[in-house]
Amino acid sequence: MDLVYLYFHYYPNAPVAYVALAIFAIIDIYLILRIITQKAPSFMFKLIILATVETLGFVIRILCIKTDVTFAKYLIMNIFMLLAPNILAIVNYNTIAHILTLANIETDKIYLKSKPITIFFIACTITSSMFQAVGGSIQALAQYRVVGPKLAITGLSLQLSIFVLFTVLATYVFRKNSIQYYVKGVDNPKKKAITRIYIVLALMAIRVIYRLAQFATGSTGIIATHEWALYVFDPLIVATCFLIFSTLNTCFPKRDEEDVCTLEDLEIGKEVSSVVDIK
C-alpha cells in the first residue's frame, strides 16, 4: 500500500484537482477585480483571502498526488481546504453586522449590536473549524483513527448549531421593519442581502451534513472513499458560495459612501427616487 492511498484511502484524480485549482484561481482573480474596482464594503476583502487559501489547498493537494505525500502536507491541505469554507461563513455574520451598522438603530438588545454578534459568531466558527481541521487530519494516523472523526463530528455539530442560531437572527432582522437602510438605485437592499445569506446558509448546511456523514462512516467508508462526492458537496458548493457573495456589494453603499442611515433618511431617499422616476 503506497502513502497516497494510506492517507486518502483512494487514489485522487489529478486532472480534476487541476480543474478545481484553475476554477478557484479564476474566482480569486475575479473577486480581486470586482471588490476593488466596485468599492465593495471592507468586510468583503475576506473573500479574496479565503479564495486564495482555498486555491493554495488545491496546490498542496496536487503536490500530495504528484510528489511524496507526508503528514505535514496532508495536514496543511486539510487545514486550508477545511478552514477556508468554514470561515467563509463569517462573511454571513459580517453582512448582518453591516446591515445593523447602516440601519443605525438605537437598542439595548445585545443581539442587535453589530460588534457583540460578530465576535460571538466568529469565535464559535473558529472553534468549530479547529476541531474539524485537527480531527480530519489526525484520522490519517493509525493511533487517532477513532479520536479524529469524533473531534471532526464535534466541530461540525457545533457549526450546524451556529447556522441554526444565525438563521433565527437573520430572520428577525429580515422581518424587523425598523431595521432599514438606503442604497441609491436599489429597491429593498436589506431583502436582497439577506436572501443571499439564506441561499449560502442552505448550501453550507448541505456541505456540513455531507461532512458529518463522511466522518460518521469513517475514513474507509463509502462516502470518504468516493472522490466525486467530495467535489460535488464541497468545492462545488464553496465555489457557488463565493460567486453569490461576490454580488453582495450591489446590496450596500460603496465603501466611500457608507454613512449610517436613519428611517428619516430612508424616506427621503425613497422620495428622491420617486421624483427621479416620475421625471
What local confidence, expressed as pLDDT, does residue 60 receive? 94
Length of the chain measured in residues = 279
For the chain, what is the radius of gyration of the CA atoms? Answer: 21
| Percent of the chain whose pLDDT exceeds 90 | 43
| Percent of the chain whose pLDDT exceeds 70 | 91
pLDDT at 237 exceeding the cut of 80: yes
What local confidence, expressed as pLDDT, does residue 160 receive? 92
pLDDT at 19 exceeding the cut of 60: yes
pLDDT at 275 exceeding the cut of 50: no
Which comes out higher in pLDDT, residue 278 or 23? 23
- 3-278: CATH number: 1.20.1070.10
Q: How many CA atoms lie within 13 A of 125 on its CB side?
A: 24
The whole-number average pLDDT for the span 44-57 is 93
Cα separation values, 80 from 6, 58, 83, 133, 239, Å: 20, 9, 5, 8, 15
Given a contact cutoff of 8 angstroms between Cβ atoms, the answer to whether 8 and 225 are in contact is: no
What local confidence, expressed as pLDDT, does residue 276 receive? 34
Q: Which three cell numbers stand for residue 161?
A: 448549531
pLDDT in tens, 238-266: 999 999 999 999 999 887 765 555 445 55
pLDDT at 15 exceeding the cut of 80: yes
The whole-number average pLDDT for the span 2-16 is 85
pLDDT at 173 exceeding the cut of 80: yes
What local confidence, expressed as pLDDT, does residue 278 receive? 39
pLDDT band per the 50, 70, 90 thresholds, residue 16: very high
pLDDT in tens, 78-117: 888 887 888 888 899 999 999 988 888 777 777 778 788 8
What local confidence, expressed as pLDDT, does residue 36 receive? 93
* Other Cβ atoms within 10 Å of 212 Cβ, number: 18
pLDDT in tens, 55-78: 999 999 999 999 888 888 888 888
pTM value is 0.85
DSSP string, the chain: --HHHHHHSS---HHHHHHHHHHHHHHHHHHHHHHHHTT--GGGHHHHHHHHHHHHHHHHHHHHHHS---HHHHHHHHHHHHHHHHHTHHHHHHHHHHHHHHHT-----GGG-HHHHHHHHHHHHHHHHHHHHHHHHHTTSGGGTTHHHHHHHHHHHHHHHHHHHHHHHHHHHHH-TT-----TT-SSHHHHHHHHHHHHHHHHHHHHHHHHHHHHT-TTSTTTT-HHHHHHHTHHHHHHHHHHHTTGGGGS--GGG-----HHHHHHHHHHHHHHHH-
The whole-number average pLDDT for the span 39-51 is 92
